[in-house]
Amino acid sequence: MQLRLITVGQKMPSWVEQGYNEYARRFPRDFQLELIEVPAVKRGKNADITRLTDKEGEAMLSHVSSADWVIALDVKGKQLSTPQLAQQIEHWQQHHPSVVFFVGGPEGLAPACIERANQKVSLSNLTFPHPMVRVIIAESLYRAWSVTVNHPYHRE
């Protein structure tokens, strides 16, 4: 199974890269998590945020095929527990060999990305800085995967 995390923003602080890489490297070869970063469009004083977000969305969508199962990380999405995410992973493994997660920039996801999504998931009712979401989703996916293979990482 191939998982891709498509995010807005590059050149993250070292702690973000280290955190993400720590969990991404733990996955087995047949269950890889790949990070694809699209550049954040520069925001000026009088920036047209809608246009900039749409441009970032176009860049994100350029990395998606029609066969991909797309999940938008969105505050309005459904919150999943770790066991529920593990069930989702088992479902994706059986039905969707390529799963893509969209993580937007400071203003969130472009409407086109939300429209393309097959599912909308919320990590929390809290708002997280978008760089931190990379680490949270990588750890959450690893934890849920560990449940599916009875790995001792997750303890209830």
Q: How many CB atoms are closer than 10 A to CB 124?
A: 10
CB within 8 A of 128, min separation 6: which ones?
136
Of residues 17, 116, 135, the one with CA closest to residue 60: 116
Backbone angles phi, psi at 45, to 5 degrees: -60, -45
Which positions make up the binding site for S-adenosyl-L-methionine?
73, 104, 123-128
Contact 109, 76 (CB under 8 A): no
Which positions make up the binding site?
73, 104, 123-128
